[in-house]
Amino acid sequence: MLKMTQTAAPGTPDIEDIVENFALLDDWDDRYRYVIELGRGLTPLPDADRSDSNKVQGCTSQVWLATTVQRGTAAPVLDFIGDSDAHIVRGLVAILLAMVTGRTAPEILAADPIALFEKLGLREHLTPQRSNGFRSMVARIKADAQAAMAAAA
């Protein structure tokens, strides 16, 4: 049975649950369906956040990531919402958001979403364009975390 503990990213299960659920699914068709299901669970992105400034460059599909920075703690905490016009990419957004939303900027900068992407076997089962798009999303999130750190200094 798949686990679905909620995280700080509305509509997204906890990243540990996602990893456990992937381990339970032996067939790649089931894993693809799960990735798509994760994307369907994302909170809809408000139209106002579908702006050019939130659009991730380097993705074949259209991808938007909106960042909110919370200050008042030792390190800024970043929250992300996102969306894509492609079902599988929307699922990749959900996995990435489960890993980084609600974390501090230093935690985000120390995280290795690419390693998780490879651990889940996604790189070998997705097109190179999708893999490159995921890397572009990671670069965008890390740049936002770096900017939050710089602004806090």
Whose tokens are 């994760």? That residue is 38
List, as one string, the DSSP characters of 29-96.
HHHHHHHHHHHHTSPPPPGGG-SGGGBPTT-SS-EEEEEEEE-SSSS-EEEEEEEESSHHHHHHHHHH
Residue 11 sits at the vertex; the CA angle it makes with 5 and 12, to the nearest 5 degrees, is: 55
The alpha carbons of the chain give a radius of gyration, in whole angstroms, of: 15
Half-sphere exposure of 96 (CA within 13 A, CB side): 28
Task: Give catalytic status of residue 27 as yes or no.
Answer: no
* Active-site choice (42, 59, 81, 99): 59
Q: Which residues are catalytic?
A: 59
